[in-house]
Amino acid sequence: MNGHLAIAIDGPSGAGKSSLARRAAAHYDFIYVDTGAIYRCVGLAGFRNGVDTRDAAAVERILPQLQIRMKYNEAGEQRMYLGEEDVSADIRLPEISICASNVSAHPSVRAFLLEMQRKMARENNVIMDGRDIGTVVLPDAELKIFLTASSTARAQRRLLELHSKGVETSLEEVLKDIELRDYQDSHRAEAPLRQAEDAVLLDTTEIDFDQSFLCLCRIIEERLGIRA
Ligand code: DC
């Protein structure tokens, strides 16, 4: 134990992990760590360098030259940097999502990013979201939550989010992308997406964001005995 509290939130793409974790972090004054953003940086770097992101050896070759940094601005938002460049917007492009999923299957990439994630949790009270936070990154987290929703519900939410950012795409496209990533993320050999045995399941298919947030707060307050 390092004197800090860690809440691990895992689950498939589009389950609302980041919006809920961000709001809960602000509510309880924790740092929110979006680990998918780190994998997205590796995916973006591969994409920009013309690397086939499914090719483990090719991706491994670019790792030593990558300088990925996570910074928090005054509003407490996590910004991602590749070298000196703020890539926080570019890593969200739909074509980068699948590259991120591809690179995340490679053991060398996971090992490369592990310490960066653990260091954040050693130094802060964190709410960290991802796919393997409760199972691999922070197996001793004080609270683990597995957040999920049906693939259709997740695709509808992701579509609204992309449209609000001006990204033109269809429900079909988004659903296809979500189902492909679900499959890849849960069938890879290394740290696949799965619910940790001691994680609390929160399924948000039938409930809206505010209701999901209330459920999350109830779990946090009951399990950790903290109040906002
Ligand atoms: O959460 P996200 O959609 O931004 O994550 C992008 C990809 O990164 C996702 O397809 C799976 C991978 N990922 C992972 O393997 N482990 C994590 N802890 C976080 C994300």
The structural domain count of the chain equals 1
Cβ neighbourhood burial of 56 (10 Å; 0-12, 13-18, 19+): middle
Q: Which atom of ligand 1 is nearest to the CA of 10?
A: 18
Q: Over the chain, what is the mean pLDDT?
A: 95
Q: Could you please report the per-residue DSSP string of 16-41?
A: SHHHHHHHHHHHHT-EEEETHHHHHH
Domain of 50 in residue numbering reads as 6-223
pLDDT digits over 8-36, tens only? 999 998 899 999 999 999 999 999 999 99
Residue 164 maps to a domain:
yes
Residue 228 domain-assigned (yes or no): no
Q: Which atom of ligand 1 is nearest to the CA of 191?
A: 15
- pTM of the entire structure? 0.93
- Residue of minimum CA distance from atom 18 in ligand 1: 130
Q: What is the CATH number of the domain that holds 44?
A: 3.40.50.300
